[in-house]
Amino acid sequence: MAKHMSRLTPLAAFGLATTMALSACSGSAPTPAASRDLGTPVAGKIKPGSLKGTTLTFASSGGIFQDGQMKSVWNPFAEESGATMQQDAFDPAKTKAMVESGQVSWDIVDAASIQGTMECGTTYQKLDKTQIDFSKIPKGLLADDCSVPSILYGDILVYNTALFGANPPTSFADFFDTKKYPGKRGVNMTTHVEPEILEIALQADGVDPSKLAPADINQAVNKYKSLGNNLVGWTSGAQAQQQLESGEVAMSIVWSGRGFGAAKAGAPVAPMWNQWKIMTDSLLVPTGVKDPQAAFAGLNYFLGSEQQAKSTEATSYAPVNIDAKPNVPEQTAKWLVTSKLDSGTPRNAKFWRENFDALTKAWGDWVTGN
């Protein structure tokens, strides 16, 4: 849970969300899913009143981030569809326990995308893609058969412009070149590392992330080891941001939202977009929900351009609908990844699904000193 929360910016800080009803509906029985005709799905649209009598529960990251999701998407969805929306704080272990016990009380969850990749078809059910309009999602963001991208951000190289403004880094190889670019390097040193971190090291060595082999895992770990005393670990997004703000590190690989947070706080930092790792969080439907059709209708509504624009305005994360036009300050716009997709690469989802245990062991053994 903490890992999933820690990427959030100050505009999306973690706080426990208590379960609460967000819109009331009449006491009439819900329309049976088999008799509903929701029509051809169009992202952001729902037939008025079509889910009257239905209750859905959304579990997400809590705090201001989840409040933004509720205000920009789920409150309007409830009003238009006639459904009652409830919310709770997401916990991956609790989701798994619900599914295993057959007592699933969450209908849609917002999780780290690796969870959809690793647990598609088990904890999370495969989507009925005839009920969701994916046509406005950028190519490459659909990593598996269970996930709908909810926010768009990235693992990026952020550097100190006071040190390197006249000669900025232009590749991940520069991150590891402490002779040309002297100074400390910030790196995510949690045991639950994201695969993107290893792909960054491999790209620095010229390895194509779409053509990975098991031996590449140790190569990536050794690449970080090569930084020696220049490596400064961080274990939360807040710590990563503070390292940039204080000048403790000259460069860092951070979530784009944390780089933006440092810049907004006045730190002399800038992103490198020549290479970056495309990342999303995912909306997922737990296996065993009582009304999958209603959950899929919610996912379809979430993907609308208006909903995505308002969500970006509320959370500072980039929209996942190519037609969304959020009204954000100029500084925020510079850090949104939407217009930078051509220079980014997504994780090799198939490889990491097959080799995630090896990644976890190799990285965990290193950061814990085993």
CATH entry 3.40.50.1360 includes domain 154-277+341-367 = no
Can 2-152+280-335 and 154-277+341-367 be said to share one CATH topology?
yes
Three-state DSSP class for residue 337 = coil
CA dihedral (249, 250, 255, 257) in degrees, to 10, reads 100
> What pLDDT is recorded for position 354?
93
**CATH classification for the domain delimited by 2-152+280-335, as one of 3.50.50.60, 3.40.190.10, 1.10.10.10, 3.40.50.720:** 3.40.190.10
Going along 96-172, which residue ranges are E strands?
108-112, 148-160
Q: Do the beta carbons of residue 197 and residue 155 sit within 8 Å? A: yes
What pLDDT sits at residue 9?
44
- The C-alpha atoms of residue 339 and residue 154 are separated, in whole angstroms, by 12
- DSSP annotation of 76: H
Domain boundaries, the chain: 2-152+280-335, 154-277+341-367
Q: What is the pLDDT of residue 14?
A: 31
Q: Which CA distances in Å does 344 have to 23, 171, 241?
A: 40, 12, 22
Question: What are the distances in angstroms from CA 286 to CA 116, 146, 227, 341?
Answer: 10, 9, 41, 29
- Tens digits of pLDDT across the chain (370 residues): 333 444 544 333 333 333 333 333 333 344 455 568 999 999 999 999 999 999 999 999 888 889 989 999 999 999 999 999 999 999 999 999 999 999 999 999 999 888 898 999 999 999 999 999 999 998 888 878 999 999 999 999 999 999 999 999 999 999 999 999 999 999 999 988 899 999 999 999 999 999 999 999 999 999 999 999 999 999 999 999 999 999 999 999 999 999 999 999 999 999 999 999 999 999 999 999 999 999 999 999 999 999 999 999 988 899 999 999 999 999 999 999 998 999 999 999 899 999 999 999 999 999 998 7
CB 220 within 8 A of CB 202: yes
**Two structure tokens written together for 361:** 């062991």
In angstroms, rounded to a whole number, what is the distance separating the alpha carbons of residues 28 and 107? 20
